[in-house]
Amino acid sequence: MKLSQFSRRSVYAIALSLTACTMPANGDSQVAGCTPGAAAGQSAAGIQQVTLCISSAKTTRAFNVEVAETSAQQAKGLMFRTELADNAGMIFPFPEPRIASFWMKNTVIPLDIIFIRANGTIESIADNTTPYSTIPVEAGEPVVAVLELRGGLAAELGIAAGDTVKWATK
């Protein structure tokens, strides 16, 4: 997945400030058996992985996500990947809330694109986005992060707007 409509100055500002990203200030670090931010090593692409927790009223689910921290990692995202495990994904943290805009250029598989507010709640979900599309998929309000999961997984698991997402990076 590649970020669209980004100026060089925006990419540079994000790259400089992403090293300070942490879990949203939305509660305790332990969530019903899921420890957000637990180190999960590095992906085959050499990207840091952490545990991310999504909680609804009845369930908490753990995912092993890659953290797209650098501008290069954010620009490439999940492009060219041919599969994504059900417990995997990629998180794109931002240094401050903004209207996020993503596209599916060079992205082979459909993805669910989940927009996350500063309080950790899901603002909206663009489900089963179309592979290779250059049409922007945007948040409806400023968000601090975007999570990508396998297309259709959010609906299969009952993940919805208003659910809570927690993660942490170094």
Going from the N-terminus, what domains does the chain have, and what CATH number goes with each?
A: 2-166 (2.60.120.1140)
- The identity of residue 52, as a single letter, is L
Residue pair 60/159 in contact (Cβ under 8 Å)? The answer is no
> Token pair of 126, please?
């663009």
What would the pLDDT profile of 58-102 be if each residue is shown by its tens digit? 899 999 999 999 999 999 999 999 999 999 999 999 999 999 999
* Euclidean distance between the first and the last CA atom of the chain, given in angstroms as a whole number: 23
Determine the pLDDT at residue 118.
97
Number of neighbours of residue 135 by Cβ within 10 angstroms:
11
Predicted confidence (pLDDT) at residue 165 exceeds the cutoff of 60: yes
Mean pLDDT of the chain, nearest integer: 85
Q: Which residues pair with 122 in a beta bridge?
A: 116
Please name the amino acid found at residue 160: A
Taking the CB of residue 8, how many other CB atoms lie within 10 A of it?
8
143 CB-contact burial (10 Å; exposed 0-12 / middle 13-18 / buried 19+): buried
